[in-house]
Chain A
Amino acid sequence: MILLNIRMLQAKRELNDSGAGLLVILGIISFLIYASYTVFLKTPDAYYLTAFLFLICAFLQSYRNDKAFVITHIRKPHIEIYSEYLLLTFPFAISSLFTEQWFCFPVLLVILSVVPYISYTLVQKTYFSGISAILPATDFEWISGFRKSFLFLIPFYVLAIGFSWFRILPLLLLWFLTVSVASFYSECEPLHILKEGGFFAKEFLLRKLLRPTLYLLLLYTPVLLINTILNPEFWLLNLLFIPIQLSLLYYSVCLKYSTYEPNKKQLSNSIILSLVSLGSVIPYLLPIPLLLAVYTFGKAEKNLKEYLND
């Protein structure tokens, strides 16, 4: 099982890098396993979950670009690929065996056997090729992130504007947008791009924080303004909403640079960030993103000094 061994090594490396985030990752996985169990208790939810797990694997298979390599160079390639998807779905699917919908597990095993034979690879298209006319190329996180997530960023924003006279709904939609935008900062640029402006660490970080502030204000102000005019009793909530969202965004920027290593994708940061995002909607946890942003700013500056302060 060559592929499984490789995946194990990759997972081990990622977990080693995640530090204290390891507990968070384990916590999330445990929660998902428990959540799957509760879903398998009922029909038709159990069928939907089985179909969902199958679709996830089919989607991954159609996106992976190592298919030709695996098929050419590895013995019994379809079994190797099949075993990967089995391992991926196993923790979630196994819980069905402890419910009345136990048959979902063998059904999934059977239908997953089709997935390795999907040879079609989705071609990456260049959507919004003219976006750099609106966003400067130096905001490559936003350009890249928008291309990755525009399919739900645009509808969410349109809905937020469309429902801006509602009481809480637009805020929730904008919060989803902030969480998505925060995830833009999970990939480290190469060193020559980091060094391009010739800034010192602190100046670099402040500039990195300024841009999202501007974008967020531009995007959120119209929605919040309409909402405040039509629901004047919510003026304070709307007023506080922007700094709360900004603090989450600041935290994501500072978190990225506090663990910056050239060319690295920071998967463990994304998990920590998604948990902190919850803090920006639970009232008594509201100060957490701000406190973390302040704390990680110092860490980010210290880390960036290693690369920037020549």
Chain B
Amino acid sequence: MIKIQNLSFSFLNHKVLNNISIDFPKNHVYGIVGLNGAGKTTFFNVLSTYLKTKTGVITFNGSKITYKDIAYLETVNYFYSRITGKEYLKIFAQTNPDFNLNSLQEYFKLPLDDLIETYSTGMKKKLALLGVLKQNKQIFLLDEPFNGLDLETNKIVELIIETLREKGKTVFVSSHIIDPLLTVCHQIHHLENGEFIKTYEKDNFHSIEDELFKTLRSEAKTIISRSI
């Protein structure tokens, strides 16, 4: 169980996460949705311990959460210059005994002997994902894992998330494309202004898109019709 109590986080004087208290039972796949600036990436950064908070507590199975529990795929993937894909993957100790690079390469088809600078955005995302999968962690945070990927790899990522869950892992996924979340998640949490305002169970996933974009649609429609 991941337990978050009274979690707040501010950048300068702007509160990005606002007194969040929520429980996430383990071995589930959670979708995190929200409009731009809702605090999704900050939530992931805090959960991953990349950002340290002064207020609030996050525990995993009763103990304070640490980076050792977490594998984190960031939205934007930065790679050290002039190293190859293969060298990048070698940096990470293979703690996941089932990780088989050759098998995954049949689908990912990455030029692992080339410098990462020559990779496309989608290829970089796939490489970062391989680095994450090499590690045997209990919690997987995937921030926009579908970004820049082709249709085929999108499906592969969905299957990977499903498999992680089958192996007892807890997975958090954020995406600005709602469709894949509807397939892989058990619950989807709507984050707005740094607060979780609603939780959707599988039965009411159909209403997410309407509710998420309700305000935006009404406001934007007027502005767009006046502007173009």
Contact = CB atoms under 8 A, between A and B. Distances in A.
B68 A140 contact: no
Contact of B80 (A129, A187, A195): A187
A123 B77 CA distance: 22
Interface in B96-153: 113-115, 117-118, 131
Given A124-B117, A124-B118, A137 B79 contact: no
A94 to B, nearest CB: 33
A132 B90 contact: yes
Query: Most chain-A Cβ atoms within 10 A of its Cβ — which of B50, B68, B80, B117?
Result: B80
Contacts of A191: 50
B217 to A, nearest CB: 31
Given A129-B113, A190-B78, A198-B68, A140 B93 contact: no
Contact of B88 (A131, A137, A141): A137
A148 interface: yes
Query: Size class of A's contact patch?
Result: 20 to 34
A262 interface: yes
Given A124-B118, A129-B113, A137-B90, A143 B83 contact: yes
Contacts of B68: 198, 310
A140 B86 CA distance: 12
B87 A262 contact: no
Interface in A191-224: 191-193, 195-196, 198
Nearest to A307: B50
A199 B81 CA distance: 23
B67 A310 contact: yes
A138 B83 CA distance: 11
Contacts of A187: 80-81
B49 A310 contact: yes
A5 interface: no
A263 B66 CA distance: 22
Nearest to A145: B82
B114 A126 contact: yes
Contacts of B87: 131-132, 137, 140, 143
Contacts of B50: 191
A184 B92 CA distance: 21
A309 B87 CA distance: 26
B91 interface: yes
A306 B49 CA distance: 11
A223 B117 CA distance: 36
Contacts of B77: 190
Contact of B115 (A124, A132, A136): A124
Contacts of B117: 124
Interface string A125-168: 01001011000111011011101100000000000000000000
Query: Most chain-A Cβ atoms within 10 A of its Cβ — which of B83, B86, B114?
Result: B83
A24 B49 CA distance: 36
A195 B84 contact: no
A143 B93 contact: no
Interface string A270-310: 00000000000000000000000000000000000010001
A2 to B, nearest CB: 24
A144 B78 contact: no
B66 A148 contact: no
B84 A126 contact: yes
A147 B80 contact: no
Contact of A196 (B78, B79, B82, B91): B91
Contacts of B66: 310
A144 B80 contact: yes
B44 interface: no
A195 to B, nearest CB: 5
A189 B93 contact: no
A249 B33 CA distance: 47
A310 B77 CA distance: 22
B67 A144 contact: no
Q: Which 3 A-B pairs have the closest CB atoms?
A: A137-B90, A263-B78, A144-B82
13 contacts: A123-B118, A126-B113, A126-B114, A129-B84, A129-B86, A138-B90, A140-B87, A143-B82, A144-B80, A148-B81, A187-B81, A196-B91, A196-B93
Given A136-B90, A148-B82, 14 more contacts: A126-B84, A126-B115, A129-B86, A137-B89, A140-B91, A143-B82, A189-B80, A190-B80, A192-B72, A193-B80, A196-B93, A263-B78, A310-B49, A310-B68
